[in-house]
Structure 1
């Protein structure tokens, strides 16, 4: 959302009201600015997720063949764009374009967990117009609406050898080479949708040197619609190839992206130093399962998730070196919503600790450049996931994330 906020591990993001990214973090912060303003930001995100196998088994109880999948992470470029203007002496309008949720893991084609996951990708695009009203010197209020687009792609391998023997018997399948783990295909599901929500914010200014922000973002429900397609190995017996389970068809799934509540604080300790803090709650417990429905009558594909709510805490400091330069640093603890018993290779997440640094350079009164860097330490994550007809994936993940962000802002 913001290179400046990243440098502070997003501590105080709803109270600092330093740039237009407040449109996302707390729209009430717009009331502390004036004139026409523009901000563009870009972030390069590099997650790393490396799996170590520890006895994964097929549905037949035999070892799962294949490697560890390589590094499931990869580079992603995430933009953000904001604009704001005055409508009246105490009323401002702003609009932001962001990507609030995202995911991508992708494994080597022949890895041991291929029957549970190959590629998992979710991209979101959020259009967020907002209004801010300054009630008095102490209270400002803000509100916005969100028009959110989500696009999802999920793929996994299919063990057609095991499916053939289970459905047609070894005498039919073995002579054709359809043996367990010997003749894989793939299933790919794609879908997208637009959803709608809102956000509210309040900013309290008890003194010239301190601010407290409270911000709420609503849940957004999506019904993704798209298709399921299957790549089948050559020579697959006709009864299996024609089965609804492996026939291209329309598909749909429901996804609710969660509501959140954040309380932020900002205080100038002296002319040089500022302290920032934040506590944020996200209702991830809405994500009970990943259920994909198929239009051709095939049975639903269901993966239990059972995520839990998460509370994130962050603290940061800023140092004003001079009128042109400001330095930032932040620390955050960000517990995962993923429970160990339900961890999947699509989202092999674990508790995270953020360490961040950043800087602001103002070459002129109306221009500013911000830079932010974050290294996210992720706790090693065990996995022991069994899925029907896909085997049991057993092992451990070693993960981390690096983020580099830059932004430019201008007041006209």
Structure 2
């Protein structure tokens, strides 16, 4: 049982079929005895053409069946300019011993490039040499500085020249200032006796000076370079081969088609019996191959007959694993059904497809 499962599993993958969506026939040649034909196709797809369906064809009473497939991949070269940067870290002691010429000698002259399919040799550009500090050590010290503040202030309309009326301290910007000088001035221009005779009291203004100080920390930061980062650029042309198209050469074996006027059932008799056998064969011949999309590839799951422009997939669908089908019509019946509506049934669902005959494509795609 285990061997049977392995055999079926292997057969399923070996029989996977691929359909090419972009396949253009560019040449057909047939040898003199018509036993071999060669078709050359062109395709922009990059797929495994050994699994692609290439239809048999008939010409001059010979039927040609695919025998061998040869694929030639055509590529083109894609070129572009590439710039890469290399860097080195030099300690300060090493850096101090070198000039630019010696620093450049630390870098290789050529840089091989190989990435994303591109290859090339990049050359060192000496003029792109760049040197900059990498690690820097900072040290900060502080010194103390005394800042002195002075403030002049006048007090107006004092009743007498008493120092007790003047504040001994004031505050400016958060610093306390002390009174260091005070000068009283009378507000009357006349003599005091004259003022006294009028009964008007003498008023005074006092001009003062305040002074104070505070200490301020002044930072002093020193930096020291520990090492340097040195970079240089490399420039050059890189290229890679890019897929352009495939040229597919298909070799066919040719076999002469039997004379259809001879009844196929002739082995069972002649005359009416042979004709009856031919009629039975013709009307029961399965002329539609049914493919189903299984695991990403189309696989042949059976054959059926198209009758009255109708195809019934109900029985064959038991072998299907998806709702996506590709139906290959026999070329003879396909020619007769050109530009006609085809009814395709699966259980209780029916799809109508208009069929357009093409020598290289007798397929109908249908999704349920």
- What TM-score do the two structures reach when normalised by structure 1? 0.22
**Larger Rg: 1 or 2?**
2
Structure whose residues are more often helix by fraction: 2
